[in-house]
Homo-oligomer: A and B are copies of this chain.
Amino acid sequence: MRIVVDAMGGDHAPSEVVQGALNAVSDDSGIEIILTGDEKKISSSFPSSSNSSSITIHHTSQTVEMTDGPLQVIKQKPNSSLVAGIEMIKNGKARAFVSAGSTGAILAASLFLLGRIEGVKRPALGVFFPSGNNGLVLCDAGANSDAKPEHLLQFAIMASGYMSHIKGVHEPKIGLLNIGVEETKGNDLYLEAHSLMKEYLPTFKGNVESRYLFEGEVDVVVCDGFLGNNLVKFAEGWIRHVHQDLSTQLENQNVSVEKKREFKSIFSRALRHFEYEEYGGVPLLGIDGDVIICHGSSPARAIKNAIFAAKKSAETNLVGSIRDDISSTVSLIEGKV
């Protein structure tokens, strides 16, 4: 399968992106990669020993800057690694797109070039968290900074499709993130979303509090993108803070240097499980094409895993599945009105 990867997106581009691509094709011979971006910079990022016939470079001359607004990127930079990459999905030159570039710009270019799946009101980001048996998907993790109740209903449907595809969970259990389990809890948005989800989603389990998120009661948790983005970033900051603090505290323990070293190594190995790099990128659910967004600081490991995630999305036809699920709910709602 041919996957296009934005070699210029992210804090460690192009070197870590190139390394991630090399690792992906070396681990999975079914993957071909097109790297978009500055040919010279990309070429010089290849380790001298590497020689992969599964990777080609598509040169682009324009550079997306951190200060560029999303609209500016799609209007003024058609020959950037980001826009040209997404264009390749549109033209059928590749099956999926992976980038660690600006979320806003990827979202805007995806909407402009690929459009939404029919019936979808807003695309959303679905982030995977390790927990319980299968983990859970939180959606929206920040594609939108505000939302309406019907958007939350659709986030639930799209995230359920994603959870079925990545983890093979049959009829994922859905929860609405809220400040209490009672139906009467939360602000107007959440009260209305609750009643919509209760009416239209047979696997809706009601409100779930974030303190019980990881106890395996739900496979999908829905919230608005402002809350979701804050939570996902909080999780990242909190785990890093706990890690650093524990390392410091360990230094002060009255045990030998060897034990400290051994403990730190066990501890770091165990914490890997919680690092975003392990789960690769995050799909832009609701876009009519497979678009995977990576963390801006992605190292090679995250890029490689995002490429695998992109392949899986395309292979299992996640987009087609979301199209079917959204379309049946739209009919159901219209039938009621």
Contacts and interface: CB of A to CB of B under 8 A. Distances in A.
Contact of A227 (B185, B227, B235, B262): B227
A238 B239 contact: yes
B271 A179 contact: no
Contacts of A269: 249, 253
Interface in A215-253: 215, 223, 225-227, 229-231, 233-242, 245-246, 249-250, 253
A107 to B, nearest CB: 13
Contacts of A226: 179, 186-187, 190, 227
A131 interface: yes
Nearest to A188: B146
Interface stretch (A111-119, A205-213, A317-325): A205-213
A248 B249 CA distance: 21
Main secondary structure of the interface of A (DSSP, over half): helix
Contact of A234 (B188, B211, B270): B211
Contact of A231 (B187, B230, B242, B271): B230
Contacts of A253: 266, 269-270
A234 B263 contact: no
Residue in A177, A233, A259 whose Cβ sees the most chain B Cβ within 10 Å: A233
A168 to B, nearest CB: 22
Nearest to A248: B270
Contacts of A237: 209-215
Given A131-B241, A186-B145, A187-B146, A229 B179 contact: yes
A232 to B, nearest CB: 8
A255 interface: yes
Which range holds the interface residue count of chain A? 35 or more
A101 to B, nearest CB: 15
A200 interface: no
B187 A210 contact: no
A197 B179 CA distance: 26
A72 to B, nearest CB: 14
A258 to B, nearest CB: 11
Given A179-B229, A230-B227, A242 B241 contact: no
A177 B230 contact: yes
A68 B102 CA distance: 48
B263 A266 contact: yes
Contact of A267 (B145, B233, B267): B267
Query: Nearest 7 pairs between A and B by C-beta?
Result: A210-B234, A214-B241, A211-B237, A211-B233, A249-B270, A210-B233, A146-B187
Interface of A: 130-131, 142, 145-146, 177, 179, 185-188, 190, 209-215, 223, 225-227, 229-231, 233-242, 245-246, 249-250, 253, 255, 259, 262-263, 266-267, 269-271, 273-274
